[in-house]
Chains A and B, each alone.
Chain A
């Protein structure tokens, strides 16, 4: 052993480890898991584990971006996917971290609650014999008999200058022990218990909550049934037959974009307002309600949010005889800040071959040299449709497909007289004849659509209550001081020497001042001349 060694503990190799049985091992593992060191480690791991979700696109937020990422990173992408980097918050490793933390939290809160429960009902400990050894200490000599001085001290301790009304004082012969700040530990426990409540609330929301999205063209209405949704995402324990039967009709959608400011702010959205008619059930009276971005509609536990908007050009397709094959407002999906939107028109009634139109709607059309027809502003300044035309089989083998794209594997693109791909550019009111007597397409007008998201989360009130309780507990645990103050009196002739010592849990820079206050209050109350 070298001489510089300061540690007097024996080397680990010197110790014969006692063998642990299975129960001992379990107990050891439990101790390790619920120790503060592990909790700290898990906390830091949780922080680090959450970060990848902000760097890589996430499927639950934007599946399209994940697909783009995978398409452009062919070597690293699949590996990241296997490791769950595109579903971080539902990945098994992230769940492992927070579940371990959850267990550690429970394992910490339960025994501490028991200890605190006992401590709150116990008497403060007896005053130590040598108060001057405590971190804070003060002594004075006052007039009066020791018993009287002690009575004064007790009053002062309970008073404003001492530890307050809620402190507990124990009298023990010629000494007093007082303890205050039990609420510090109470707050701390409330904080941790409330975090458990929040986690439970999140789980409740996940199991019993649902979310549905629906694109609703103005003038149309929808009722809250699964079939009415474009996408519906229920929790595992949701009764999908028992949704509350409300209906929402969007009569008008007002949209405002920034026109005055320049730079990046130009065209930024300023206001979206939907004017709706709602019914809580098919027999209930209709109510006119305004739906805004920060003002959802509420139906019992479910809320309707206005999360998106776009354009739905009204398109009419006729056959060669002028018979209308299709006339409807077709929603197009915005792709950029200026609402260059993609969409498809599928004419399954066309014969002998089905017709499909695929392309862009441009609210403010201009021709970009590189990217072709584009939009320079999100509002309707120069609306136009730019479409390519396909013919063939729209739904090969009846597979489900997106309504916004055309599956062209069994279709061929129509060509113009020069043999180039036929491209139509239509302004509202214009009609284009399709080549070789296939009929015509008319761009009648433009309507808007509202992107509605309907959410039901039965856990949210519980989550909020838990969060607020956690905050209050946190404030209590950080702001309240846990203190012990001891008072001893001893007679010196006809006077009395008062000795006060103080002890605090954690940092407590104000304890010394409190002891001085106590001493001067005792001096004053005993009528001692200074």
Chain B
């Protein structure tokens, strides 16, 4: 039993969130563009203030959209590609807003909302699936436990990915002569925190996301044992979840190994995120396996 009206409202929520977040993203961009060297650090950053408010609003709209979608199908909205994308984006924005309450993240807004808008756009057009019930194997409490944590940790990996890229850019800019830099490069390097601090932030996010991903793996194995008879079947989704885990484990080892610079280790983190994208976009749709729940 599904409720079409509610799922229509959910879609409306996604569209409004996208509109609000687009304005927020533009405001964040304006704020960053206004950063100039030698500017006092306490300059009024009106655009960033507006952007932050709009991001919070966008986050609320996404929470509402996910809740409406869940109500329309009488289950957690975690049953197909569209719903994973929606809930994932919601987590990204919620985590961003939550951290921004304690730390100044105005520099990061643009680079978090950008990917979120891209994902939401894909979700509502390419991945869109009509509201419907679940396959029998998905009807389990483990759906909530396993998929929620998986989506949440992917959200953290996404933010970490953005920060990691910024770290690499900033490292590159910091190595250049300040005199010879173009205006754009000067603006970027002034707008971002120093490379060391970016690296620390990225590492902090990865360190939280990795145990959550480990938990996802374990919860998935417990569920697989109940639904399919064995805790590990080398299903393509399991393989890629494992590959992601191994690559991020390698990243953490590289961080602890002398002889690996943070920059080199960060390339491993980027590779890990590449595997996450493959796991979500390629494995769900193209590979034959027991996790074929994309709804496409």
Give me the interface of A with B, judged by CB distance under 8 Å. Answer: 36-37, 39-40, 43-44, 46-47, 50-51, 53-55, 57-58, 60-62, 65, 88-89, 202, 211, 258, 260-265, 268-272, 292-296, 303, 305, 307, 453, 455, 457, 460, 463-464, 467-468, 470-471, 474-475, 478-479, 506-507, 509
The reply to whether A43 and B234 contact each other, CB–CB distance below 8 Å, is no
Which residues on the B side are within 8 Å of A509 (C-beta)?
200
Contact indicator B137/A293 (Cβ below 8 Å): yes
Contact of A51 among B210, B226, B243, B252 (CB under 8 A): B243
- Name B229-264 residues within 8 Å CB distance of A: 229-236, 239-240, 242-243, 246-247, 249-250, 252-257, 259
B249 partner, pick from A43, A62, A296, beta carbons under 8 A = A43
**Known contacts A307-B228, A475-B211: A40-B250 contact under CB 8 Å:** yes
A89 to B257, alpha carbons, bound, how many Å?
Answer: 29
B136 touches A270 (CB 8 A): yes
Minimal beta-carbon separation of A188 from chain B (angstroms): 9
Ranked 10 nearest A-B pairs via Cβ: A54-B236, A293-B136, A305-B229, A54-B239, A47-B246, A261-B132, A294-B140, A43-B250, A265-B132, A47-B243
Interface contact A294-B218, CB-CB below 8 Å: no
Question: Which residue of A is nearest B234, CB measured?
Answer: A89
Residues of B within 8 A of A479 (CB): 207
Q: 29 A-B Cβ contacts within 8 A? A: A36-B257, A44-B247, A46-B246, A47-B243, A51-B239, A51-B240, A54-B239, A54-B240, A54-B289, A58-B234, A65-B288, A88-B234, A211-B229, A258-B132, A261-B131, A264-B295, A264-B296, A272-B136, A293-B227, A294-B137, A294-B227, A296-B226, A307-B229, A455-B230, A470-B214, A471-B218, A478-B207, A478-B211, A479-B207
A268-B134 Cα distance, complex, nearest whole Å: 9
Contact, CB under 8 Å: B226 / A269: no
Are the CB atoms of B234 and A61 closer together than 8 Å? yes
Q: How many angstroms between the C-alpha atoms of A265 and B130 in the bound complex?
A: 8
Q: Find A467's partner among B218, B249, B295 (CB 8 Å cutoff).
A: B218
A378→B287 CA distance, assembly (Å)? 23
A261–B230 CA distance with the chains assembled, in angstroms: 31
| B136 contacts A263, C-beta separation under 8 Å | no
Most buried by B among A39, A54, A453, A464: A54
Given known A-B contacts A58-B234, A60-B234, A474-B214, A39 and B283 have beta carbons under 8 A apart: no
Q: Which residue of A lies closest to B225 (CB)?
A: A460
The smallest C-beta distance from B224 to any residue of chain A, in angstroms, reads 11
Bound CA–CA A51/B233 (angstroms)? 14
Contact A50 to B136, CB < 8 A, known contacts A43-B249, A60-B234, A265-B295: no
B246 near A53 with CB under 8 A, answer: no
* Interface presence of B8 (CB below 8 A): no
What's the Cα separation between A88 and B234 when bound, in Å? 10
How big is chain B's contact interface, by range? 35 or more
Residues of B within 8 A of A (CB): 2, 129-137, 139-140, 142, 200, 203-204, 207, 210-211, 214-215, 217-218, 221-222, 225-236, 239-240, 242-243, 246-247, 249-250, 252-257, 259, 275, 283, 287-289, 295-296
> B2 to chain A: which residues have CB within 8 Å?
260-261
- B residues near A60, Cβ cutoff 8 Å: 234
Which residues of chain A are within 8 angstroms of B275 by Cβ–Cβ distance?
47
The reply to whether A50 and B242 form a contact with Cβ atoms under 8 Å apart is yes
B278 CB to closest chain A CB (Å) equals 9
| Residues of chain B lying within 8 A (CB to CB) of residue A260 | 2, 132
Q: Which residues of A contact B240 (CB under 8 A)?
A: 51, 54
Q: Known interface pairs A47-B243, A261-B130, A455-B229. Does A37 touch B211 (Cβ–Cβ under 8 Å)?
A: no
Do A262 and B130 contact each other (CB < 8 Å), given the known contacts A61-B234, A294-B226?
Answer: yes
A401 to B154, CA, bound (A): 48
Residue of B nearest to A452 (CB): B229
With contact pairs A43-B246, A293-B139 given, residues A57 and B288 touching in the complex (Cβ less than 8 Å): yes
Option from A61, A264, A478 in Cβ contact (under 8 Å) with B233:
A61
Contact A294–B136 (Cβ < 8 Å): yes
Given A37-B259, A50-B246, A89-B234, 4 new contacts (CB under 8 A): A47-B275, A54-B239, A307-B228, A509-B200
Residue of B at shortest CB range from A35? Answer: B257
**A468 and B256 in contact (CB under 8 A), knowing A296-B226, A475-B211, A478-B207?**
no
The residue from A40, A47, A296 contacting B229, defined by CB atoms under 8 A apart: A296
- Contact (Cβ within 8 A) B253 A40: yes
Report whether B231 and A460 are in contact in the complex, using a CB–CB cutoff of 8 Å: yes
With both beta carbons as reference points, the residue of chain B lying nearest to A508 in the complex is identified as B200
Chain A residues with CB under 8 Å of B230's CB are 211, 455, 457
A88, A211, A295, A474 — most chain B CB neighbours (10 Å)? A474
Instruction: Tell me how far the C-beta of B239 lies from the nearest C-beta in chain A, rounded to whole angstroms.
Output: 4
Interchain nearest-CB distance for B109 vs A (Å): 22
From A53, A455, A460, contact of B234 by CB (8 A): A53
- Contact assessment for A47 and B247 in the assembled complex, using a CB-CB cutoff below 8 Å: yes
Known contacts A60-B234, A478-B211: A36-B228 contact under CB 8 Å: no
In the assembled complex, the CB of B237 is this many whole angstroms from the nearest CB of chain A, namely: 8
B137, A478: Cβ atoms closer than 8 Å:
no
> Are the C-beta atoms of A305 and B239 separated by less than 8 Å?
no
Chain A residue with the shortest CB-CB distance to B223: A294
> A474 touching B246 by the CB < 8 A rule?
no
Chain A nearest CB from B181 CB (Å) reads 25
- Which A residues touch B255, using CB under 8 A? 506
Kindly provide the distance from the CB of B138 to the nearest chain A CB, expressed in whole angstroms. 8
Cα of A261 to Cα of B72 in the assembled complex, Å: 13
| Distance A474 CA – B228 CA, assembled complex (angstroms) | 28
- Measured in the bound complex, the distance between the Cα atoms of B275 and A19 in whole Å is 44
Q: Is the CB of A54 within 8 A of B136?
A: no
- Note all chain A residues with C-beta closer than 8 A to B247: 44, 47
Residues in chain A near residue B256, CB distance under 8 A: 36, 506
Q: How far is the CA of A436 from the CA of B239 in the complex (A)?
A: 58
Q: Known interface pairs A36-B257, A258-B132. Does A507 touch B200 (Cβ–Cβ under 8 Å)?
A: yes
Provide the residues of chain B in CB contact with A46, threshold 8 Å: 246
Partner of B133, one of A264, A270, A463: A270
Q: Is the CB of A268 within 8 A of B132?
A: yes
Contacts of B236 in A (CB 8 A): 53-54
Considering only CB atoms, which chain B residue lies closest to A509 in the complex? B200
- Minimal Cβ-Cβ distance residue in B for A466: B218
The CA of A271 and the CA of B138, in the complex, are separated in Å by: 10
Q: Are B257 and A40 in contact (CB under 8 A)?
A: yes
Q: Which residues of B contact A296 (CB under 8 A)?
A: 226, 229
- Complex Cα distance, B229 from A303, in Å, reads 8
Q: Which residues of A contact B229 (CB under 8 A)?
A: 211, 296, 303, 305, 307, 453, 455
Task: Find out whether the CB atom of A478 lies under 8 angstroms from the CB atom of B210.
Answer: yes
Question: Which residue of chain B is the closest to A475 with respect to CB atoms?
Answer: B211
**Alpha-carbon distance A470/B217, docked complex (angstroms):** 12
